[in-house]
Structure 1
């Protein structure tokens, strides 16, 4: 399997972890949803992310999910989230998944880092634990981690560690940070890949600012793929038109505590997974929310039909 690099681009879907109604891993659905993501245009996958319910898995289950997804991907790149409170756990899981054929690993800073110096020291320690040959994605997600990383601090981290080949950018608001990173590269700093998260809420603008694509989840990964392709090609109006058709559902997924339930409901409805179940703690969508999602899906279908290009 190829490794991610500073030139990696496209869409790496944050994969859900399928469970059955008892909370057990659904291994058949894991294979099915992996196929689904690639069939719908994903260039790669990121597994065991925050929306993959990674904290609810045991270490053994994490390795099992990684092994199954990497095997099913058939050589296409799979990045594995390995964030953990301690560096020993990060190092152990990283070695296991790289030995299985992962394309790289992703680490977010743990809560409790309050200064630029602490953040910079933390990633220096992560790189030391992983070694120089493991491609690393730095996840910049202060809304979740509560650890803001200034543009200057991020730049110093990138300058110090060549093995950090990608930034998963999901600061919010964060468009100016993308511009600043690219401006620094134009002035001579080494290039890194930038893939963006936050459910794709700002995806057209992020690509226009210089992002290489998306690393996020959504029940319609084909939207992410088409928007990135068209925006990267300079067809911003068409990219925005496609994005706008899906925007109500993208927005609805942003509800704290409900977003994963929405995403799994849509994926189950589309046949990508057998059940929308989450492992506890986690709840299914209530009937009122199901009705709202169904209405959005119907309107989305109508908008896409109106946008369909002539054969």
Structure 2
């Protein structure tokens, strides 16, 4: 069993903050800030904003800037915040990353450059891309290794980036057989791999912790539940961590396989934290039966999200 590195600056549960819209699809900044307060009170070690689960691809540049500024000012250093700055252009991504750092971000998360179903960049171009981003900032860069980019990033290539590109030191691995890739990445990258992290709504969390993951980036609806698993694991109590994972796995599975990015908002609306759980078109609202199933599963666990605002 691979042991986590004690020297990591950031570790633990860093859930994705959903973007809160009103019923018309406009940003609801008041609801957004209540969402953030809940997520901190629920035990998040840190937060990630503007990720795919934040519907970042449905936001305008102006909305991204407004959200970044409003959230970072409201958090005011209570927890570290990762800002997703993904863009195909290295110039734009570097500028976004620099702006995020200036606003108070602790880290940026970036996917490799891609566009549509067919436009991809080879390893030499990807290395140059991350070098440009790294040169623009002084905070860590997390590479998001996810199927949505359609770009294969081998563990050997990621380890090389960690050793050759100064700011690249965190990796969110959410591809099939993530645990095996995390083990290989840690073995190949050594001390350059400061943060090998789990993703994909914690559906592979237990296996990824066994492989040496030191952080988990999940959905935002129940950080308190994920903390029980991760805290027990890092305390060396594998039996308790396993029991908690088994308890919360039905809810994790429901989010990962059924509710998707609408899950956290559905839970937050049910708990009275936000007024609207709208997702932005062309996404469709969560099916009523899916929502009913989600809430049945959640109520058995009594997560803070359902009582924080009561």
**Shared fold (TM-score, shorter chain, > 0.5):** yes
Given that 1:120 and 1:157 are in contact with CA atoms closer than 8 Å, whether structure 2 keeps it comes out as: no
Aligned partners of 2:134, 2:272: CA distance in 1, in Å? 37
Contact 1:18 1:30 in 2 (8 A): yes
Residue-pair matches, total: 292
Q: Which residue of 2 aligns with 1:199?
A: 201
Q: Taking structure 1 as the reference length, what is the TM-score of the superposition?
A: 0.87
In structure 2, the partner of 1:266 is 267
Distance between the aligned counterparts of 1:181 and 1:59, measured in 2?
A: 34
Cα distance in 1 for residues equivalent to 2:275 and 2:123: 40
Unpaired runs of 5+ residues, structure 2, are: 1-6, 304-310
Q: 2:103 aligns with which of 92, 100, 105?
A: 100
CA RMSD for the aligned pairs? 2.1
Q: Is the 8 A contact 1:6 1:192 kept in 2?
A: yes
Tell me the residue number matched to 1:133: 138
CA distance in 2, matches of 1:104, 1:290: 33
* TM-superposed deviation, 1:185: 4.8
How many Å separate the matches in 2 of 1:110 and 1:255? Answer: 26
Which residue does 2:3 correspond to in 1? none
CA distance in 1, matches of 2:54, 2:277: 13
Q: What are structure 1's unaligned runs of at least 5 residues?
A: 303-311
1:206 to 1:113, Cα distance in 2 relative to 1, 3 A: farther
More displaced, 128-137 or 90-99?
128-137
Q: Does 1:146 align with 2:146?
A: no
Please state whether the residue corresponding to 1:255 is helix, strand or coil: helix
- 2:156·2:188 contact (CA, 8 Å) conserved in 1? no
Q: Secondary structure at the match of 2:83?
A: strand
Deviation at residue 74 of structure 1 after TM alignment: 1.7
Q: Does 1:122 align with 2:126?
A: yes
Is 1:78 the counterpart of 2:89 in the alignment? no
Q: Deviations for 1:150-199, whole angstroms, at most 9, x for unmatched residues? A: 1111111111112112111212211111112222355xx53321221011
Corresponding residue of 1:19: 21
Q: How does 1:1-311 map to 2 (within 5 A)?
A: 6-75=8-77, 76-111=79-114, 112=118, 118-131=122-135, 133-141=138-146, 143-185=147-189, 189-255=191-257, 258-301=259-302
Matches of 1:273 and 1:89, distance apart in 2: 32
What is the rounded CA distance, in whole Å, between the counterparts of 1:113 and 1:197 in structure 2? 25
How far apart in 1 are the matches of 2:289 and 2:174? 30
TM-score, normalized by length of structure 2? 0.87
Q: Which range moves more in the overlay, 205-214 or 42-51?
A: 205-214
Any conservation in 2 of the 1:196–1:206 contact (CA below 8 Å)?
Answer: yes
Paired residue secondary structure (1:69): helix
**Mean CA deviation greater in 159-168 or 293-302:** 293-302
Deviation at 1:204, TM superposition (A): 2.0
Q: Which whole-Å CA distance do the structure 2 matches of 1:203 and 1:267 have between them? A: 23
What secondary structure is seen at the aligned counterpart in 2 of 1:254? helix
Residue 139 of structure 1: SS of its match in structure 2?
A: strand
| Contact in 2 for aligned 1:79/1:103 (Cα 8 Å) | yes
Q: How much has 1:127 moved relative to structure 2?
A: 2.4
- Is the 1:109–1:119 Cα contact (8 Å) retained in structure 2? no
Deviation larger for 12-21 or 146-155: 146-155
